[in-house]
Amino acid sequence: MATRKYEKHFFPNPLIKGTGVKHRIVMQGSKTGFDGLMKNYWLRWNCITKPVSMGDPHTHDFDEIFHFFGADASDISDFQAVVEFHMGEEDEIYRFDKPTIVYIPKGLKHAPIDIKVVKKPIIFMNVANAPGFVMLVDGKPVVPDDIKP
């Protein structure tokens, strides 16, 4: 129970155990933060240190925004990685090697996200206007293991 009026607006120490790095963040507005004040906010933040492929092709019923940038906080433009981002029913592949933000409106099929080259760590962050992250893979709801609450 909050002891001061705005206590629940602060979410201290959101860090959880990382994958390949010490910490990462997975925040689900409805479950892990702000005491239910902000339900439609979901965030995953992680540092990527080696190539990885993420996600089966999927859709969801909320928008999602991906952010890719260099992990050196003093120069996030230092992006030494190559990402191949699969988009749409057509499976168009968008390859980029610069800091990039990708907007996925609800219902648009996307993934996998193949991080092919990592010469220096990068930050991978995605956010969604949803209370939790549920993908629809072939119409079936799936919650990836690394973000289960």
| Calpha distance 21→119 (Å, rounded) | 15
The residue sitting closest to Zn ion, measured at its beta carbon, is 64
Structure tokens, 47: 């540092």
| Calpha distance 71→122 (Å, rounded) | 4
Segment near Zn ion (CB under 5 A), from 11-19, 64-72, 91-99, 141-149? 64-72
33 close to 25: Cβ distance less than 8 angstroms:
no
Binding test (CB under 5 A) with Zn ion, winner from 64, 66, 113, 115 = 64
Whole-number minimum distance, CB 144 to Zn ion, in Å? 9
Whole-number minimum distance, CB 41 to Zn ion, in Å? 15
**With binding defined as CB under 5 A, does residue 114 bind Zn ion?**
no
Segment near Zn ion (CB under 5 A), from 26-34, 57-65, 74-82, 93-101? 57-65
The strand pairing partners of 103, in sequence order, are 65
| Total of residues contacting Zn ion (CB under 5 A) | 1
The CA distances from residue 140 to 59, 105, 136, in Å, are: 10, 19, 5
Q: Interface with Zn ion by CB under 5 A: which residues?
A: 64
